[in-house]
Structure 1
Amino acid sequence: MTGNHEAAAGDGFRYTITRTLDAPVADVWQAWTTAERYAQWAGAKDVTLDARTDGSWSGTVVLPDGRRFPITGSYREVVENRRLVVAMDVPGGAEPAVMTVELTDRGACTDIVVSQTCDSAEERDRTEAGSNMLLDGLTAHLANR
């Protein structure tokens, strides 16, 4: 697992997380794009996913303390088994937050790269921590299959 920070064009703050997952790319893809599987590892309930370019998604994040947060968004780009560009509606935000997920097939393993550009270092750090938690859930889910 690696993570790195960089200044992005347009005064943004970017993070990139790279991991190798112990699962074939098709399994990783299904875990990320099938509502039932996504709910199992992402800490979300009532998940709906229309994983195609211009499709929408929604769910409710359930925190360990029981608080619930509805989330919605869309898919800006979907290339099966290769790439997802996912937009998340941010309450009060002028623009959706956009995260890119790239997959590289390594046979029995998959390299995954998650990246996002944020408006501040604080937002980047918070969002990166959330993405790491998400990938931890995905890693555990894939290990239990």
Structure 2
Amino acid sequence: MSAEQTTTDSGFSYDLTRTLDAPVDRVWQAWTTPDQYARWAYAAPGSVEMDVRPGGAWKATMVTPDGGEFPLTGSYLGVTENRLLVVGMDVPGRPEPTVMTVELDEDGGRTRITTRQTCDTSEERDTAEQGSTMLLDSLTAFLAEGA
């Protein structure tokens, strides 16, 4: 996995890239099918709803390692099947959603996945990057199970 952090005039960004041992369509299904997403993305079973199309909404209740739960909501700002998800995440007190981009590229039967996000502060970027790293770790394990 490679990781890059940058600071731009518009904020603090990270890029995480990893090659997964699964074809693109399998990775796409893991990201866009509620029951599969719940199994690897730390979501409470039955809490995930997804309308995977530009302007479609999503929601999930995430479960922390100590058992705490917190609801998340957002929308899909861009969708290209088996290639791109641009996910808006609602943040209380902010007029605009936080945006994370997930890109998938075919790599000889495997998938190169890149997640990107720009945040307002270095602290927010570091927290978001840590969360994305945890998600990619869990996704890697889920795909290895062949589930």
Deviation of 1:7 after TM superposition, in Å, equals 1.5
Contact in 2 for aligned 1:8/1:117 (Cα 8 Å): no
Cα distance in structure 2, aligned partners of 1:144 and 1:18: 21
Cα distance in structure 2, aligned partners of 1:101 and 1:9: 22
Aligned pairs for 1:49-64 within 5 A: 49-64=50-65
Deviation of 1:8 after TM superposition, in Å, equals 2.5
Instruction: Determine helix, strand or coil for the equivalent of 2:48.
Output: strand
The aligned residue for residue 29 of structure 1 is 28
Cα distance in structure 1, aligned partners of 2:4 and 2:13: 8
Q: CA RMSD in A?
A: 0.8
The runs of at least 4 consecutive aligned structure 1 residues that moved more than 2 Å come to none
Cα distance in structure 1, aligned partners of 2:142 and 2:22: 10
The aligned residue for residue 40 of structure 1 is 39
Instruction: Give identity over the alignment, percent.
Output: 58
Deviation of 1:68 after TM superposition, in Å, equals 0.4
Cα distance in structure 1, aligned partners of 2:13 and 2:111: 23
Deviation of 1:30 after TM superposition, in Å, equals 0.2
Cα distance in structure 1, aligned partners of 2:51 and 2:143: 22
Contact in 2 for aligned 1:87/1:99 (Cα 8 Å): yes
Cα distance in structure 1, aligned partners of 2:7 and 2:64: 30
5+ long unaligned stretches in structure 2 = none
- With the length of structure 2 as denominator, give the TM-score of the two structures: 0.96
Q: Encode CA deviations 1:2-33: one digit per residue, 9 max, x unaligned.
A: 100112342x0000000000000000000000
Aligned pairs for 1:48-127 within 5 A: 48-127=49-128
Alignment of 1:7 with 2:7, yes or no, is yes
Q: Encode CA deviations 1:7-64: one digit per residue, 9 max, x unaligned.
A: 2342x00000000000000000000000010000001021001111111100100011
Instruction: Determine helix, strand or coil for the equivalent of 2:52.
Output: coil
Cα distance in structure 2, aligned partners of 1:68 and 1:44: 9
Cα distance in structure 2, aligned partners of 1:14 and 1:111: 19
Q: Encode CA deviations 1:53-90: one digit per residue, 9 max, x unaligned.
A: 11110010001111100000000000000000000001
- With the length of structure 1 as denominator, give the TM-score of the two structures: 0.97
Contact in 2 for aligned 1:52/1:75 (Cα 8 Å): yes
5+ long unaligned stretches in structure 1 = none
Aligned length: 144
Cα distance in structure 2, aligned partners of 1:130 and 1:14: 14
